[in-house]
Amino acid sequence: MNYLQNSRIEMSFACLIFLVGSLGSMVQAEEVGDRWGTEQRERAYYPIVNVPLPKDVVIEVGAFAVLPDSRVAIGTRHGEIYLMSGIDDKKPNPSFDLFATGLDEIFGLAYKDNTFYVTQSCELTRVSDTNQDGKADRFETVSDAWGYANYHEYAFGSKFDRDGNLFVALGLSQSYESNALFRGFTMKVSPEGKSTAYSSGLRSPAGIGTDEHGALFYVESQGPWNCSCSLKALSPGSFQGHPASFNWYKNAPELGPVPEMPKSGSRIVVERERVKELVPYAVVFPYIRMGRSITGFTVNQTKGKFGPFENQLFLGDFTLSVIMRATTEQVNGVWQGACYPFREGLSTGILNVNFTPEGNLLCGGTNRGWPVRGIKPFALERLEWSGKMPFEIERITIEPSGFKIAFTKPVDKVLGSQPETYKIATFTHPYHGGYGGPEIETSTPPVKSVSISEDGMTASLVLDGLTRGHVYDFDLNALRSSDKEELLHRKAYYTVNEIPLR
C-alpha cells in the first residue's frame, strides 16, 4: 500500500477546511422555507421504519383498519384489501394476504362482525368472506346514495361512531363544482343502512373521523374558500364553507333550508354571524408551513406506547411527506384547537395513518396524481417512539385571557418565566372564492405575563386581548427545558374561533 498520498490528502484537507463553513451555510439556506429542518433531530425520538412490501406489487395505502386479532388491514388505491400480520415485529417483515380485489380506490375501512365496511370511490360496500377461505366473496352495496360522474370526486369514509354510524365525505366535481348529486356533502349511513345528508360545503375532503371526544371532524384541502388546509368540525346541518353544493338541498330536506350565500372576500368570523350554518375552521394548518394537502387522521390512544401525545390527532401531508399533530377543544360550543409539527422525511405522499396494536404509527401513501416531496412512488412506513422523551409543546389550550401551553418536559423556569421567550404572531385569512389566499391582518401581540406551574410542565400566558378568527402562531425558539434542551419543534398554531368567558 502506498502511504505517500496521505500527506497530500491531509494538506488538501487542511486547505479545504475554510470551505466547510460556506458549505454549511448553503445547506442551511436550502432548508429555509418549506422544511422544518428538524428531521435529523426527530429521528432520535421517532425513528421511521420502512415496512417491506411484497415484490412486484403496488400497494398504495388509502385506509387502515385494525382487526380484533391484531392483524392490520390495508385498503389501497388500486382497490385491494390486504391483511398484514406481524406489523409490530421489531424488524417488520409482515405477511400480506390479499383479502379482496376489484374495488375502486379505498379511502375508508371500518371493521365490524367479521365484515369490512369499505368506502370506495363508487359506494360504501360491505365486504365479507362467507365461505371463510380467506378471500372476500361478498360485496354488498350499503350506500351509493350520491352521484359519482366526474374527475376528482373522491369519497372518504369514517370508522363507526359511538352509535354505529358511518360517515362519507364527498369531494366536489373536479374539486370546484358540484355537478353530481350530493358532491360536497357528508352523508351519514346509519347501522340499518339508511343514508341521509349530514352537512354541506365541503371542497376536497381528504379524511374523516372522530377525535378523542367522539366529535366528528374532516380534513379539508386548501383551495377556493379555504386559504389553508384545515380540520373542520361536522355537525348535523352544518355548512363547511364552500357553497358549490347548495344546489342539492332540494334533494336533502333533512338539511333544512339552503344557507345564506357567503360573501366572497369577507372573513369567516364575520360570515359565521350571517350564515348561521357556517362552521369555522377548527384547526387551520398554515399553508406550506403546516402542509399543502393534509390527509387522513387518527387519534393516539396508545396509552403512552407512542410517547407523550395521548388523545391527540395525528395526520399526514400528501405533498410534503410529513406527519403532524393536532389537538381540539370545544369553546362556547365551537370546536377549535392547534396543530404542531411532528415528523418530516417520510418517503412518499401520506394518505392515511393508523396506530398499530402495539402503538406504532403506520403511515402509508403514494405520490400518484400530485406533486410529492417523498421520492417513492408508494411506501408503507412505521413511526415508532424510541422511548426517549422529546422536549415538545404537548398542547396549547385557550384561556379567557391567553393560552396555556403544556410541555412534555419541565421548562427552564428562568427562561420560561420571561414573556419575551414566547414570540406570538397572528393572522387571519380572507374567506373568499379565490384559490388559496394570503395571511392578512397580521399582528405580533406581546405576552403580558407568564406563569410557570410548580412542576414546570405548563406555562400560562396572558395576552392583551385575543382576536377571534385569528390563527396564533407560536415560536418558542428561545425556550429551553430544565436540562437546557431546545424544543424539538419550536412552532405551534392555535386557531381562535371563540374565547372562553371564564
Partner 1 sequence: MVIEVDDTSINTKTQNAGEELIVHAQRMRMGLALIAFIAVLCRESSSAEPIIPGLFSKHPLTKVQVGELLIGELRCAACHTGLRQSVVSERTAPELANVGGRLNPEYLKRFLSSPEAAHPGTTMPDLLASETPSRRDQIAEALTHFLVAQSSSKFQADEIESKESTNGKELFHSVGCVACHAPRDDADKETTNEGVVSLEHLSSKYHRKSLGDFLYQPLRVRSSGRMPDMKLTLDESSAIAGYLLKERNESAKQLETQDKLVSEGKKYFQELNCAACHKLGDNSAAETRSLSIADATRGCLSKTPSKSPQFNLDEAQTNAIREALSSKTQDDTDKTRIALPLTAFNCIACHIREDYGGVSEGRNAHFQTSEKNIGDDGRIPPPLTLVGAKLQPVWMKKVLFDGESVRYYMFTRMPQYGERNLQDLPECLGRTDTLPSVDLKIPNPEGQSKGEREREKVLRTAGRELLGDKGVYCVACHSFNGKPSPINQGIDLMTTYQRLQPGWFNEFVRNPGKYRPRIVMPFSWPGGVASHTTILEGNTDQQIEAIWYYLSLGRSAADPSGIRGQESKLTVTDSTRTYRGRSNVAGFRGIAVGFPEHLNFAFNAETGTLTSLWQGDYIRVDRSGQGSGSFNPASKLVPLHQDVSFAELPDETTPWPLRPVMTKEQPVNQDPLYPKSLGYQFKGYFMDDAAIPTFMYRFGEIEVQDRSVAVALGDKWVLERTIQFVSPRDQTVWFRALVGEVEAESKREFKTTNLRITIPVAETLVRSLAKDSPASELLLKLSIPQNKSTLTFTYELLAK
Q: How far apart are CA 276 and CA 259, in angstroms?
A: 7
Residues 85/95, Cβ–Cβ less than 8 Å: yes
Q: Are the C-beta atoms of 433 and 224 separated by less than 8 Å?
A: yes
CB 350 within 8 A of CB 318: yes
Q: Of 121 and 460, which has the nearer Cβ to partner 1?
A: 121
- Quickly list DSSP for 71-139: -EEEEETTS-EEEEE-TTSSS---EEEEEE-----EEEEEEETTEEEEEETTEEEEEE-TT-SSS--EE
Per CB under 8 A, 258 contacts partner 1: no
Strand partners, 96: 84
Rounded least distance, CB 70 to partner 1, Å: 18
CA 214, CA 347: separation in Å to the nearest integer?
31
Q: What are the Cα distances from residue 443, in Å, to 426, 457, 470?
A: 5, 28, 10
The yes or no reply on residue 123 touching partner 1 (CB under 8 A) is yes
Q: Does 28 bind partner 1 (CB under 8 A)?
A: no
Three-state secondary-structure class, residue 43? helix
Site for partner 1 in 37-66 (CB under 8 A): 39-40, 43, 47-50, 52
* Cell 373522491 -> residue: 154
Q: Is 454 exposed, middle or buried (0-12, 13-18, 19+ CB in 10 A)?
A: exposed
Nearer CB in complex with partner 1: 130/235: 130
Closer to partner 1 at the Cβ: 74 or 463? 74
Q: Does 32 bind partner 1 (CB under 8 A)?
A: no
Is 16 or 270 the residue whose CB approaches partner 1 more closely?
A: 16
The answer to the question of residue 472 lying near partner 1 (CB under 8 A) is: no
CA distance 381 to 374: 12
Supply the minimum distance, in Å, between the C-beta of residue 343 and partner 1. Answer: 12
Binding mask 142-171 for partner 1 (x = CB under 8 A): --x--xxxxxxxx-----------------
When binding is defined by CB under 8 A, the residue of 28, 251, 442, 451 that contacts partner 1 is 251
Please list the residues that pair with 206 across neighbouring strands.
none
Kind of pairing between the strands at 195-200 and 238-239: parallel
> How far apart are alpha carbons 281 and 427 in whole angstroms?
14
- Near partner 1 in 171-190, by CB under 8 A: 173, 177-181
DSSP state of 286: -
By rule CB under 8 A, what string of x and - marks binding of each residue 82-121 to partner 1?
Answer: --------xx-x-------xxxxx--------------xx
CB of 51 to partner 1, least distance (A): 11
Task: Based on the shown chain and the rule CB under 8 A, indicate whether residue 460 belongs to the binding site for partner 1.
Answer: no
**Per rule CB under 8 A, is residue 194 in the interface with partner 1?**
no
Among residues 345, 402, 437, 469, the one that binds partner 1 under rule CB under 8 A: 345
**Which CB, 149 or 440, lies closer to partner 1?**
149
Question: Is 467 a binder of partner 1 (CB under 8 A)?
Answer: no
358 binds partner 1 (CB under 8 A): no
For position 375 contacting partner 1 by CB under 8 A, the verdict is: yes
> Is 440 one of the binding residues for partner 1 (CB under 8 A)?
no
State yes or no: residue 249 binds partner 1 (CB under 8 A): no
- Interface with partner 1 includes 137 (CB under 8 A)? yes
Task: Note whether 126 binds partner 1 by CB under 8 A.
Answer: yes
Type of residue found at 165: N
Which residues contact residue 301 at a Cβ distance below 8 angstroms, ignoring those fewer than 6 apart? 212, 310, 311, 355
Of 28, 114, 130, 311, the residue at the interface with partner 1 (CB under 8 A) is 130
Which listed range, 140-148, 195-203, 293-301, 445-453, lies at the site for partner 1 (CB under 8 A)? 140-148
Nearer to partner 1, 1 or 501 (CB): 1
Residues contacting 94, CB < 8 A, separation 6+ = 51, 84, 85, 86, 87
Select the residue interacting with partner 1 from 114, 140, 164, 451 (CB under 8 A).
Answer: 140
389 contacts partner 1 (rule: CB under 8 A):
no
